[in-house]
Structure 1
Amino acid sequence: MKKLLIAALTVISLVGCSKIEDGPLERITENYAFDPTDKNGFYAEQFLNNIYSILPNGYNRIGGDLLDAATDDAMPSQIGGSIERFTTSSLSALTNPDDAWAKNYAGIRKVNIFLANIDVVPVPAKIPFWKAEARFLRAMFYFELVKRYGGVPLVGDVVLDAETPENFKRNSFEACINYIVSECDAIKNAVRPDPLAAGDYGRISNGVVLALKARTLLYAASPLYNGGNIGGSAEQKLYQGYASFDNERWNKAAQAALDLITPAKFKLEATYNNVFIVRKNDEVILGYLRNNSSDLETNNGPIGYALASANGRTSPTQDLVDAFGTIKGLPIATDVKSPTNATGYDAANPYVNRDPRLASTVLYNGVAWLSRPLQTYEGGLDKPNKNTTQTKTSYYLRKHLGNFATATLYNAQPHNFPIFRYAEVMLNYAEAQNEYLASPDASVYKVLQDIRKRAGITAGTTPGYLYGLKSSGMTQAEMREAIRNERRIEMAFEEQRFWDLRRWKIAETALNTNLNGMIITRDPATSALTYQKAVVGKITFANPKMYFYPIPYSELTKNTNLIQNTGW
């Protein structure tokens, strides 16, 4: 029977395999995973490892596309994919390509099975760590539900039956936030301390717990939830957030982030791109660990390489590219009459003297890739304009891909999706602290300065400016704009902007717009290139109801106590 268990537990390994078990695994294994004679707790640990596999893995997971392709940062290169339900506002309770309800409640169910049975396994030194890990995973699954649906049923330690679910009612948004935060507080000192030993890398640590608490409180303080309800019945409003605004929520979010920043157990990785392609580094607090692979390159890489075929699924927009400033940290559209003129930006050579993170985020015309310059000009090898999937914008995804400038083939690389990383925690703090205060203090400036310095932006010599920003005297609104743009470019393609635009409650503007690309024309006689920005697509956010996902129709029919979200 133990052999059958191993066969059934096609589970995630903490050093690699990313397969997610979707079936009722515990029905096959429960009597064997929790074995009073298993003196090493091997089978119980495999059961727990399988629960880890339900954590967010953000690579091409929406019908083969990145979630960022449902924002103003990118477009899907292929037409007709399920991601377009977001970009065309055709989402419904029956057709949601990011329907996370069943997945996360399955995870919660497995956690509850684990907690109900683990005490029989004779490994007393391990059980306290494992229980705390399981409770974190449950809290994380609730956060993934709340950020999509608002208030959801809190089921406690009840093991739900997949066939005959309990008719739980939805809890309020406030109750869900309080539960997640209280769980983080209860287990933060019961999990492993940081830094983790090599053999424990990928497990839940104190820093991971604090990162979830900080993110949860940041969301709770944000405009959508902090008194910004979108209407509906009195009951529906309870699921959307707090009834009224409270500035103190920003303070709580700032302090939660500071609790992780102050011990200095994490730091910014010296080389930006290493954050995404080095398995263990100083910045990633929790990553979704996978086997080495080249799937990101084949899914998203440029299409024009015969020896390294790729699908080019992701087309970053010109709007994202324009959000990156210059090497001086200045916006490319800075007024030449300002004291920060001479930015170094040249519209005729638009990728020179730019923020170094641009080259780590998108592949653009002329950049070295697979031992030749990328050709995304009209008719080029990577934009042939034939009957094939190709970039719509003249850009391809670079972030998360390995270093293949001088290679000829793709080979397996460590691609571990960063669920939490230190730069996000820093930006969480800067945002919350700026919103809490009437005007930003020195600690807020320092966050942006440190992140820009790591990026390779020069400090500059203009009096009153540092790394392209005013060194003092910014208003709260000016700093808010700077933080939001910094977050956009620093966290691009990490499943942040999709949620940021919603929690800031600006999706109705930011996602109701034309999407731009670059038309690059090459003179066949001189090889000279001309660049012209052009509209290449459109994204819509048709109704405020889209700030929240609809409860799946299948769940409403199974549980008549569930109340649908406003507008659905």
Structure 2
Amino acid sequence: MKKYHLVVLLVIALLYSCSEQMDAPKDDRVELEDIFRSKSKLLSYFNHPFWNIATNGWDGGFIYDGNRSTLASFCDEALDSRNLEPGSSVNRWYTGKNTTESFIFNQELTSWDYYFSAIRRCNTIIQYLGDPDYVIPISQFNEGFRNYYLAQAHIMRAFCYFELIKRYGGVPIVTERLEISYDFSNDKRASFAECVDFIMTDCQKGLEIGEKSQPALPWKFGAGTSRRDFTAAIAWMIKSEAATFAASPLWTEDFEGTNKYTWERTLEITSQALEECLKNGYSLLNFAGNNTNETARNITNYFLTAPDFTGTSDKETIMIIVSDNNLPRAKTWQYSGIPITGQLSAGSCPTQELVDAFEITDGNVAHPILDLANPYDPTTHAPNINAKAKAVGYIDNGNAMYQNRDPRFYATIYFNGSSHGNATVQTKIGGNHQISSDPNSIRNTRTGYYQKKYGNPISSVSDNQDGYSRYYRMAHLYLNYIEALNNVYGPTGEYTDTELDKKTALDALNELRATRGMPKVAKNDVADKTTFELRYRNERRVELAFEGKRFFDVRRWQSPSGDLSMTDKQLSGIEISSDETKSTRIILTPRLCYDRKYLIFPLPYNEVKKIKTLTGEDWQNYGW
């Protein structure tokens, strides 16, 4: 992407919004200094923007359209049951009726306004607390308190910048507090890599604040520590994520003004992130039980159980987005539930494509259901069944297709014949949860499947007992490491410049699979980078299903001139006969949200309009 020199008036709109009134008095400096005279005011000032992000943008994993849809509904993971509801976000997304004025993700105010608002507050905190000559006029303050919130501000700013660039590409890097007299005409839009450089610097600054024996950023949350604060593990995870995106095809060439993020560079960053987390008490949880059912229960219970932020029983969770110390439960039963629970909608109905991603296993070997290089016929969308899957018993018909699958399948998706508490899910024709194409029947599945992940069968209108959506966890970090390893050394080449035990991509992948009760991937099944990449991407899809990651993965894996036609255009569901002996794959109406412009979000219309009026430059992303 080329650079644009521009006026960043977008920030002004943020600074004087209703939620920012306390920051914009007649004399901004006087008011801000008053904030730094009160411990409670300072904490409120710091926490307010993250509270906005959590309550308006990540409500238990339900994000869009008034917090009624998950991000899974906007990629190939799911079809939302409100797809035929005129004016709904999913309907406009599927029919391609998105403009810069009405882009659905901008309307939620999570992607732009709140992140820049948080950045502005971080800049203020860094300016005050980062000035060694500034004496904080609060008796309760000590050097440890100053260092803690200074480090927090650096990591929050890095987090917000990463969330912005993975949606919009490069954005202006603003580090000043922005006085009213600030000259916006000197700002420019940075390249993606320049933004990642800044994110890396902010994370490193946060990690280095304090003494070596007592760094400002904790690794775990101790007693009395806010569960919405940032830890050193989160800082390392942000570094790994930013580097992984920067090295991916969509962004790898957008490095004007700085050095390119190669996979070698990304591997160095991510391996160090994994090393540091492992040394400081984080690890993969081992869900593997004595059989598939036990393993599936263990995985299910992990997502139903509140994270243990001390790391005593939960060493896998790195980050969960919270608005306060009360952890937000998912709303699966309500907005992605099944009809017998009294829910409002079936919501994010898993697609057949997601179901097909879960491998079949006989306990000793496991194989993908489909030919990963050519999963569906390009004309009919008929599945190309993997011969090795057939050899271990896969039958693409009726309820037989759900037998002997990856344990994660049974923890993620409700299918015909599966159990929901004491009830049996019946998506078959005539069943109590049957598939429906009636526009007025949003409580029934559109695909033949329902979301299970995070949902608790005992949840009801009067008592939500659903689980918790993790934002970052160790499996995600392992997957980043595996991706970088394969891109540099292939599946079996050793990376020796690391303290990690698993020095090959295949070994690291199999370590992850073992904790999920899955057999190893054989070396001869992934002979080169390309075949391993297909297997890896499928593994990532399965492991992180319904965690908001697939939406961005399918984008970053495309070239800037590519599109989403191979993943997001044609999707399907399943119809099971009343006697459960036959099944018919249903080809769903093609989505019109797959062309090149959908790789990157459009910048908010009003901001682009202001910039163009004052500078004559069009800052908008391609196609919008």
2:218 and 2:231 in contact (8 A); partners too: yes
CA distance in 2, matches of 1:177, 1:157: 18
Q: C-alpha offsets along residues 7-31 of structure 1, whole Å, 9 cap, x if unaligned? A: xxxxxxxxxxxxxx97225338994
> Does 2:20 align with 1:24?
yes
Alignment of 1:259-408 (within 5 A): 259-263=275-279, 265-270=281-286, 271-280=298-307, 281-289=314-322, 290-291=326-327, 293=329, 295-305=331-341, 308-327=342-361, 328=363, 329-333=366-370, 341-343=391-393, 347-348=397-398, 349-383=400-434, 385=436, 387-389=440-442, 390-402=444-456, 404=457
Q: After the TM superposition, which of the residue ranges 108-117 and 63-72 deviates more from structure 2? A: 108-117
2:459 and 2:465 in contact (8 A); partners too: no
Please report how far the alpha carbon of residue 132 of structure 1 lies from its aligned counterpart in structure 2 after TM superposition: 0.8
CA distance in 1, matches of 2:492, 2:138: 52
CA distance in 2, matches of 1:52, 1:533: 43
Q: Structure 1 530/33 Cα, relative in aligned 2: closer, same or farther at 3 Å?
A: farther
Identify unmatched segments of 5+ residues in structure 2.
1-16, 130-135, 210-215, 287-297, 308-313, 372-384, 494-502
- Size of the aligned set, in residue pairs, is 519
TM-score using structure 1 length: 0.82
Identify unmatched segments of 5+ residues in structure 1.
1-20, 230-236, 460-465
Q: C-alpha offsets along residues 516-554 of structure 1, whole Å, 9 cap, x if unaligned? A: 10011104xxxx442221212322345323222121110
TM-score using structure 2 length: 0.75
CA distance in 2, matches of 1:342, 1:417: 34
1:67 and 1:83 in contact (8 A); partners too: no
Which residue matches 1:145?
164
Please report how far the alpha carbon of residue 382 of structure 1 lies from its aligned counterpart in structure 2 after TM superposition: 1.6
1:364 and 1:376 in contact (8 A); partners too: yes
Q: Structure 1 551/409 Cα, relative in aligned 2: closer, same or farther at 3 Å?
A: closer
Which residue matches 2:248?
222
> Does 2:553 align with 1:500?
yes
Q: C-alpha offsets along residues 496-527 of structure 1, whole Å, 9 cap, x if unaligned? A: 1111111100643323532110011104xxxx
Please report how far the alpha carbon of residue 376 of structure 1 lies from its aligned counterpart in structure 2 after TM superposition: 1.1
CA distance in 2, matches of 1:97, 1:218: 26
> Does 2:190 align with 1:171?
yes
Q: C-alpha offsets along residues 380-421 of structure 1, whole Å, 9 cap, x if unaligned? A: 22227464112110111111223x2x7777733364432211
Given residue 322 of structure 1, which amino acid in structure 2 is its aligned partner? D
Q: Structure 1 555/35 Cα, relative in aligned 2: closer, same or farther at 3 Å?
A: closer
Which residue matches 1:552?
604
Q: C-alpha offsets along residues 236-261 of structure 1, whole Å, 9 cap, x if unaligned? A: x95xx989784534434543443445
Given residue 382 of structure 1, which amino acid in structure 2 is its aligned partner? H
Which residue matches 2:274?
258
Which residue matches 1:87?
94
1:261 and 1:426 in contact (8 A); partners too: no
1:377 and 1:521 in contact (8 A); partners too: yes
Alignment of 1:46-85 (within 5 A): 46-53=44-51, 54=53, 57=58, 59-63=61-65, 64-78=68-82, 79=84, 80=86, 81-85=88-92
Alignment of 1:445-460 (within 5 A): 445-457=506-518, 459=519
> Does 2:546 align with 1:535?
no
2:352 and 2:573 in contact (8 A); partners too: yes
2:243 and 2:269 in contact (8 A); partners too: yes
2:247 and 2:266 in contact (8 A); partners too: yes
CA distance in 2, matches of 1:242, 1:83: 38
Q: After the TM superposition, which of the residue ranges 202-211 and 284-293 deviates more from structure 2? A: 284-293
CA distance in 2, matches of 1:219, 1:336: 31
Q: Structure 1 127/302 Cα, relative in aligned 2: closer, same or farther at 3 Å?
A: same
Please report how far the alpha carbon of residue 298 of structure 1 lies from its aligned counterpart in structure 2 after TM superposition: 0.7
2:459 and 2:466 in contact (8 A); partners too: no
2:306 and 2:327 in contact (8 A); partners too: no
Given residue 452 of structure 2, which amino acid in structure 1 is its aligned partner? R
> Does 2:239 align with 1:199?
no
Given residue 76 of structure 1, which amino acid in structure 2 is its aligned partner? D
Q: C-alpha offsets along residues 413-449 of structure 1, whole Å, 9 cap, x if unaligned? A: 3644322111000000000111012453353112221
Q: Structure 1 542/177 Cα, relative in aligned 2: closer, same or farther at 3 Å?
A: same
CA distance in 2, matches of 1:257, 1:186: 15
CA distance in 2, matches of 1:502, 1:471: 29
